[in-house]
Chain A
Amino acid sequence: MSDMQPDLRELYQEVIFDHNRSPRNYHGMERPSHVARGHNPLCGDELTVYLRVEDGVVAEASFMGQGCAISTASASLMTEAVRGKPVEEVEALFRDFHAMLTESQPEGRDFGKLQVLAGVKEFPVRVKCATLAWHTLHNALVGVSDTAKTE
């Protein structure tokens, strides 16, 4: 791997391979309080995000679907990141995450494991892969029944 370009290593970090090979929370949900489907028509990625929100807090998050390594890893990391967070905090995290990939790293935000996706910013055509799950999550929370699209 030593002769690979540094920016490609930024994109494909070990954590991303790990979550692509073994996605966390990869299952449906019996009685989700919120659910939405997402689709990226450019590459055909599609996924469904399931949430169980109790007293304004995301108690459980899961997903199913198919996509590239970036999209699968991002969805997997997202389900881990949002669990236990109040809905408003999840929405704020979505905004900051989106800003990290499209504008600049928001001041004072600790992304934890999600930071491994920061390298996607250098690959504009792949930003949609990393944000599909988050757009879908947002739609689930605000109750949009249409399929989320990154277009």
Chain B
Amino acid sequence: MSANASSTIADTVLDLAHDFPILARPVHGKRLAYLDNGATTQKPLPVIQAESRFYEQSNANIHRGVHWLSQHATDLYEAGRATVRDFLNASRDDEIVFTRGTTESINLVAQSWGRANLEAGDEILITAMEHHSNIVPWQLLCHQTGAQIKVAPIDDRGELLMDEYEALLSPRTRLVCVAHVSNALGTINPVDEIVRLAHRAGALVLVDGAQAVAHQPVDVQAMACDFYAFSAHKLYGPTGIGVLYGRRELLQAMPPWQGGGDMIHTVSFEGSTYADAPQRFEAGTPNIAGVIGMAAGIDYVRAVGLERIAAHEQRLLDLATDEISALPGVRLIGTAQNKAGILSFVIDGIHPHDLGTILDSEGVAIRAGHHCAMPIMTRYGIPGTARASFALYNSTEDITALIGAVRKAQALFGITEAP
């Protein structure tokens, strides 16, 4: 690392690792450099405490009890909805549906909106860089309805070819599904323009925000998307809880997709009437503590400031990109102009899986494999990549550990002399 790069980073560095208890534990006797944030982020103390405080002080089922605790738990749960609404700048609380995560949010749209609105010959336009969770639900829907999937291609840098995307929009296109940020390449897609073009063609747009919400501010009204999905666990919150944002009039017109308690007005053996959105889509007792933990995670991130987080991660990405590119035989996968803190790469002579094991032995946690995006790996003609992904608590020390461990792997595999 050059002294220059290091002093530039020191100027804007976030120093928050101490808020994350797990980062203090060693792995294999080494300092943990956790660089698998694209898979899940670690949780800050306020999130852990919010969940345990809920169980210690406030636990009861919601929307049912006449007793005080039930009302208290309901208030906390609905306050979580308001926190998410504000975080996404949605216009109303009832545009926020709680789900198990991004995957369930996308499946909800496919099975509710999709089955009610699509027919044979209709088209769903996705991109070549989608995660499996933004491919497979649409394939299932196509089997059920006879609709077809079209795929907008990307270039070698991993940027969506906007001309081709625009050309693929047709009067038959009913829905466009696009990742805000690609989990495998780091590409930040121009969602505003994607939405504008889709709407002009008469199509709705679902944005998969799983990799975006922890790394940049999101404003669903400014973006003008119709649906936006994300998971709390990639946003410093708990697993098993996530969000579907949907425009009010769309959600109100959509049929239920799961039946049960809490999603009905009245039930008789002849038939039932359904609650309004969002309760219509929240059958059964939800992950109440999860919502409270998610809200605490959002509060934490907003207190730090998403612009500061974005700047911090961008500097780490730039530094890591420079340093890894200086090693022999390294090829970056995903070199878009506009990139989030995801560094995907392959190294001549070392399979990503071997690299993952060797890095792990040095305390460096990365993801190795196809990242649930097999079509992208096919597009680049590789079986998988090694992926380092950054979060607000990462530091230049983590990058030093990453680069040192990669050098060690290259020496071990006889590609370079031992360092």
Taking the closest CB of chain B, its distance from the CB of A8, in whole angstroms, is 5
- Chain B residues, Cβ within 8 Å of A115: none
**Contact residue among B353, B358, B369, B383 (Cβ-Cβ distance under 8 Å from A8):** B358
- Chain B residues, Cβ within 8 Å of A108: none
**How many residues of B are in contact with the other chain, CB < 8 A?**
23
Are B361's CB and A8's CB within 8 A? yes
Are A5's CB and B28's CB within 8 A? yes
Are A11's CB and B357's CB within 8 A? yes
**Contact residue among A4, A11, A43, A69 (Cβ-Cβ distance under 8 Å from B369):** A43
Are B369's CB and A1's CB within 8 A? no
Number of A-B contacts (CB under 8 A): 55
Instruction: Give the CA-CA distance A17 to B351 in the complex, in Å.
Output: 12
- Chain A residues, Cβ within 8 Å of B357: 8, 11, 123, 125-126
**Contact residue among A21, A42, A69, A125 (Cβ-Cβ distance under 8 Å from B351):** A69
Query: Which of B183-191, B238-246, B272-280, B410-418 is near enough to bind chain A?
Result: B410-418
Given A1-B412, A44-B383, A45-B383, A69 contacting B358 (CB threshold 8 A): no
Instruction: Give the CA-CA distance A67 to B28 in the complex, in Å.
Output: 26
Taking the closest CB of chain A, its distance from the CB of B74, in whole angstroms, is 42
> Which of B361, B370, B414, B418: most chain A Cβ within 10 A?
B361
Are B413's CB and A42's CB within 8 A? no
Grouping DSSP codes into helix (H, G, I), strand (E, B) and loop, the A interface class, with mixed when no group exceeds half, is: mixed
Are A43's CB and B358's CB within 8 A? no
- Chain A residues, Cβ within 8 Å of B290: none
Q: Please tell me if B201 contacts chain A, counting CB pairs below 8 Å.
A: no
29 contacts between A and B (CB under 8 A): A1-B411, A1-B412, A1-B418, A4-B412, A7-B361, A8-B357, A12-B354, A12-B358, A12-B412, A17-B413, A42-B369, A43-B351, A43-B352, A43-B369, A43-B370, A43-B383, A43-B384, A44-B369, A44-B370, A44-B374, A45-B353, A67-B351, A68-B352, A69-B351, A69-B354, A123-B357, A125-B357, A126-B353, A129-B353
Q: B: which residues have CB within 8 A of A?
A: 28-29, 350-354, 357-358, 361, 368-370, 374, 377, 383-384, 408, 411-414, 418
